[in-house]
Amino acid sequence: MFLRTTLQSIVSHRYLIKNFMIKDLKTRYAGSAIGFLWSVIHPLSTLAVYSLVYSWMLNMRVGLEFGTDNFTIWLFAGLLPWIFFAETISRSTSIVFDNANLIKKTVFPSEVLPVSLLFSNLVNFLIGFFILICGIFITGGHISIASFLSIFIYIIPLMLMTLGFSWLCSSLNVFFRDLGQIISVVLNIIFYASAIIYPLNVIPQQARGWFFWNPLIHVIQGIRLSLFKGEIIGDLELIYLYCFAIVLFMLGQFIFQKTKKGFVDVI
């Protein structure tokens, strides 16, 4: 029942979602001298810092068994989905309070707020992905059409679980104000547990079973496999990724719909 209500709300308010998305993209860099270019500078600066520390200072390398020996490009392929995931969730946590005036004064479909934020960050993700593709070709690599299309196998569950997590965090944070601080800690842990800055083969064999349960690992490794080797992750990993994403999506929208009636009384 709640799932149908949520999906109907998203479809019927698609123009509202579009307007909020455009508004977010415009106001994010409002008053800035270079404006939208910051959406390019931010991921590149993050990449430069991590590449400097891990590639130059710590001398981390990836071998050709990963499909590329260019650590910077390999690192960027893992950072992009992480930045999309982490930024969407971090900003969604406070999105109900940020739009309290709308929620208080009108019959407003508040479930569309995390959706508009998701698509706003998806635009930045696609910009970063375009830069990544250019970087692969500039450094002498190539990508087949099949490899490029297989990326969507991982973007779909990434979007589902990001949106589900965003609904969950945005609704619960209304009633538990410490949740925003907890999410910052949790995201920091997830970052280092997602094999973004190190290859999976450096994880001790006895510990790898625990890493399987982190769905972001399968997204990141899947994108890297598609881009650099033209391969897809194992069936078991793919099934788990989709099951986790769908369950989190459904749980998030259920909790949001159950709690949204109490937003006005709290905010």
Please check whether residue 182 lies inside any domain of the structure. yes
| pLDDT reported for residue 115 | 96
In whole angstroms, give the CA distance from residue 236 to residue 42: 35
Domain count, the chain: 1
Please check whether residue 4 lies inside any domain of the structure. no
| pLDDT reported for residue 32 | 62
Joined together, the tokens standing for residue 233 give 């992750």
pTM: 0.91
In whole angstroms, give the CA distance from residue 171 to residue 256: 5
- Among 115, 57, 75, smallest CA distance to 91 is for 115
Please check whether residue 11 lies inside any domain of the structure. no
Q: Give the dihedral sign, CA 196/154/251/84.
A: positive
Please check whether residue 2 lies inside any domain of the structure. no
Q: What is the largest CA-CA distance in the chain?
A: 58
| pLDDT reported for residue 104 | 82
| pLDDT reported for residue 15 | 93
Provide the domain limits for residue 167: 24-64+71-265
| pLDDT reported for residue 107 | 80
* 267 Cβ contact list (under 8 Å, min separation 6): 96, 97, 100, 103, 104, 174
In whole angstroms, give the CA distance from residue 217 to residue 241: 9
| pLDDT reported for residue 6 | 87
In whole angstroms, give the CA distance from residue 123 to residue 121: 5
Please check whether residue 121 lies inside any domain of the structure. yes
Please check whether residue 147 lies inside any domain of the structure. yes
> Are the C-beta atoms of 218 and 206 separated by less than 8 Å?
no
| pLDDT reported for residue 216 | 96
- Count Cα atoms within 13 angstroms, Cβ side, for 121: 25
Tens of each residue's pLDDT in the chain, 267 residues? 678 888 898 999 999 999 999 888 888 776 665 666 777 777 778 777 877 877 777 677 776 677 787 888 898 899 999 999 999 999 999 999 988 888 887 788 999 999 999 999 999 899 889 888 988 888 888 888 888 899 999 999 999 999 999 999 999 999 988 898 999 999 999 999 999 988 888 888 888 888 899 999 999 999 999 999 989 999 999 999 999 999 999 999 999 999 998 888 887
Please check whether residue 18 lies inside any domain of the structure. no
Please check whether residue 15 lies inside any domain of the structure. no
In whole angstroms, give the CA distance from residue 91 to residue 22: 16
